[in-house]
Structure 1
């Protein structure tokens, strides 16, 4: 004979946990969606490398190459 009585406090917590889970999944979906839109909007993956805010000489065009 198991004593498995579920208190109404557990039901309220379960409801809150579901709500927090839904909000968390929604937030993750929004961030993922914005990332996908940004990458698609850039078009070329090489353009995406320029947004890392780090000075990298290999992506800076040569000044003397056009002459």
Structure 2
């Protein structure tokens, strides 16, 4: 138990931080999902590195 009462401002800030964290996590999940779909697609090929063919 806390010795001092938490100010109302801290509760609002915590709510905003949780919302922002969930939004960021959703954005990362979308980007990760798009990357997985792109890499696992049949027409995906790694670009050839320059100079790799002996030129």
Question: Same fold by TM (over 0.5)?
Answer: yes
Q: Which residue does the alignment assign to 1:56?
A: 50
Unaligned runs of 5+ in 2: none
Paired residues, what number? 53
Which structure: larger Rg?
Answer: 1
Structure with greater proportional helix content: 1
Structure 1's consecutive aligned runs of 4 or more residues displaced over 2 angstroms after TM superposition are: none
Unaligned runs of 5+ in 1: 60-67
Q: Which residue does the alignment assign to 1:28?
A: 28
Q: Which residue does the alignment assign to 1:62?
A: none
The two structures have a TM-score, normalised by structure 1, of: 0.64
